[in-house]
Amino acid sequence: MTTLPEQFAAAARRFPDRIAIVDGRGRETSFATLKARADGFAVRWQAQGIGPGDRVLIARPVDADLYASLAALWALGAVAVLPEPAMGLAGLRHATRVTRPKGFCAGGWYRALGILLPELWGVTILGGQAAAMAPAPAPSAADTALISFTSGSTGQPKAIPRSHAFLMAQHAAIAPLLHSDRAERDLVAFPVFALINIAAGRTSILPNWRMSRLDRLDPQRLRDWMVRQRVTRALIPPALCEKLAEAGLPPDLGHIFTGGGPVFPDLLARLQRRGNARITCVYGSTEAEPIAHLDACDITENDRAAMSQGAGLLAGRPVPGLRLRIREHEIQVAGAHVNPGYLNPAHDAENKLPEGGIIWHRTGDAGRLDGQGRLWLLGRLGSQVVIGGVTRFPFNVEIAARQWPGVTQAALIGRRGTPVLALAGDAAHLPEWQDAARSLNISVIRHFDRLPMDRRHGSKIDRQALGDML
């Protein structure tokens, strides 16, 4: 089996002068330079005692050195630990307690955390001088390469170990989606896609803004960065698509891949009015990425009508090689790129279903399959409410509400047995909203300037926070 480290090395040999990474400051790093940095890190860290199986916590800016650090650790057979970035310092401390790393790989001001955080006292801070590197055994397919975390939106983040075989299976599932015969320049907001690009010898443009502060990003700044960097494709969450729909699509942009949250039909319509880029919607979860994808041009008028009339949100066809089933409304998946278990086996009981040698992952998302084998999303399991004696999931109502005049956000939520429709937008249309809601048997509407969004991608309604607001 070819591993990602081997693919990185092959890309550096084939395309030494091609730009691999452009960071948020506009600094360009070629594939040869990226490989040289990774080799330098590996030499230094091996001299500090990092070897096969050792866990190393990474806290550094999203730049070329982040990916060089990953390559260096994998070359040593070590395990990279990536905390949940949306949780900030709390996520870093949680990751330290859960994984007990031997080393701490930090850049910039993050290095000070090795002194400031009691959890990191006694952990080796990686750095030092280069020395001669002894040969390191190549990692096997079953060896753990990476430990990442769930978002923690429904409790403490769960640690997810990913083997080299898992990363390659994920690569095999995503790479065909990103394949292009052109020399693309991809704006990449999802680290996993940057790994795919490095392995493929493709250029990745990194964000020049804080991903945890998407609500504060000026749409024109996003567009200007894409124009300046001659971005041809964008791999971004729906929150950034909203910004592009406001500012307009750059002239060189030919394709948008978006996921990490629901991609509603009204957003697709606004993007299509602002440019000619092809749009692909990708559905997945932290434990299984990707699950399904949909080309916006394949959405028919009948599909749009069905979505607006309560059929749910069309997510497209499941990706090849993935098993998918619906059990009591829940989407469950299995396959080589579906995480088989958590670092703490106690977490498996809630989300993993072993059956006849197959481990099914419970996504927690409600959905259905239509007669064409396409997946439709309904919302999170447990978020359904009873309206007029009929059980309704959020997307049954929210998609219709987002098409009402002046509505920018919509969320259906139950409060003490009563369905409440929370709306953000121009309150001048409130009488129209009330009339439309009554036609859906919803009598309670609450207006807000803005509905709270998730911390990871800013693209899903934070229902717990909304419940507190209500």
Is there a domain that residue 60 lies in? yes
Q: Does 128 have pLDDT greater than 70?
A: no
Measured CA to CA, the distance from residue 20 to residue 15 in angstroms comes to: 9
Q: Which domain holds residue 35?
A: 30-148
Helix (H) or strand (E) holding 469: helix 463-469
What is the structure's pLDDT at 152?
A: 65
Is there a domain that residue 168 lies in? no
pLDDT interval class at 392 (50, 70, 90)? very high
What is the structure's pLDDT at 110?
A: 85
Q: Does 386 have pLDDT greater than 60?
A: yes
pLDDT digits (tens, 9 = 90+) for 226-273: 999 999 999 999 999 999 999 999 999 999 999 999 999 999 999 999
Contact 168, 7 (CB under 8 A): no
**Of the listed ranges 98-112, 307-321, 329-343, the one predicted with least confidence:** 98-112
What is the structure's pLDDT at 259?
A: 95
Residue of 263, 286, 249, 299 lying closest to 147 (CA atoms): 286
What is the structure's pLDDT at 387?
A: 94
Residue 132's domain is classified under what CATH number? 3.40.50.980
What is the structure's pLDDT at 156?
A: 81
What is the structure's pLDDT at 132?
A: 52
Is there a domain that residue 417 lies in? yes
Pick the last residue of a domain from 106, 129, 148: 148
Is there a domain that residue 284 lies in? no
More confident residue, 332 or 458: 332
pLDDT interval class at 335 (50, 70, 90)? very high
**Of the listed ranges 22-31, 119-128, 331-340, the one predicted with least confidence:** 119-128
Is there a domain that residue 131 lies in? yes
Residue of 197, 242, 202, 203 lying closest to 223 (CA atoms): 242
What is the structure's pLDDT at 213?
A: 79
Share of the chain above pLDDT 70, in %: 97
Pick the last residue of a domain from 148, 181, 199: 148
Residue with tokens 């998918």: 324
Average pLDDT, rounded, for the chain: 93
Measured CA to CA, the distance from residue 102 to residue 210 in angstroms comes to: 28
Q: Does 151 have pLDDT greater than 80?
A: no
pTM of the model: 0.94
What is the structure's pLDDT at 187?
A: 98
pLDDT digits (tens, 9 = 90+) for 283-333: 999 999 999 999 999 999 999 999 999 999 999 999 999 999 999 999 999
Burial profile 413-423: b = 16 or more Cβ within 10 angstroms, e = fewer: bbeeeebbbbb
Measured CA to CA, the distance from residue 456 to residue 189 in angstroms comes to: 11
Please compute the mean of the pLDDT values over residues 379-399 and round it to a whole number.
Answer: 95
Is there a domain that residue 91 lies in? yes
Is there a domain that residue 156 lies in? no
Pick the last residue of a domain from 122, 148, 174: 148
Q: Residue 123: which region, alpha, beta or left (left: phi > 0; alpha: psi -120 to 50)?
A: beta
pLDDT digits (tens, 9 = 90+) for 219-230: 999 999 999 999
pLDDT interval class at 154 (50, 70, 90)? low
Burial class of residue 57, CB neighbours in 10 A (0-12, 13-18, 19+): buried
- Structurally, the chain folds into a number of domains equal to 2
What is the structure's pLDDT at 2?
A: 75
More confident residue, 437 or 1: 437
Phi, psi of 272 (to 5 degrees): -70, -25
Q: Does 33 have pLDDT greater than 60?
A: yes
What is the structure's pLDDT at 133?
A: 54
Is there a domain that residue 15 lies in? no
